[in-house]
Amino acid sequence: MQYPPSASPVPHPDRGFQACLFDMDGTLLTSIESAERVWSRWLRGHGLDPVKILPTIHGVQTIETIKRLAIPGIDPVAEAAWIAREEMVDLDGVRAIDGARDFVASLPHDGWAIVTSATRALAEARLAAAGLVAPGLFITAEDIAAGKPAPDCYIEAARRLGKDVTQCLVFEDAPAGIQAGRAAGAPVVVITVTHQHPIDTEYPHIRDYRGLTTRHADGLIRLAAIG
Laid out side by side, the sheet with 168-172 consists of 138-139, 112-115, 19-22, 168-172, 188-191, 205-206
**Does 25 participate in catalysis according to the annotation?**
yes
DSSP string, 138-166: EE-TTT-SS-TTSTHHHHHHHHHHT--GG
Active-site residue, selected from the candidate residues 14, 23, 98, 143:
23
**Does 173 participate in catalysis according to the annotation?**
no
Side chain identity at 12, as an amino acid letter?
Answer: H
Contact between 26 and 194 (Cβ < 8 Å): yes
Active-site residue, selected from the candidate residues 25, 152, 173, 218:
25
Give, as one character, the DSSP assignment of residue 212. E
List of residues 6+ apart from 90 with CB closer than 8 A:
34, 37, 38
Give, as one character, the DSSP assignment of residue 59. T
State the catalytic residues. 23, 25
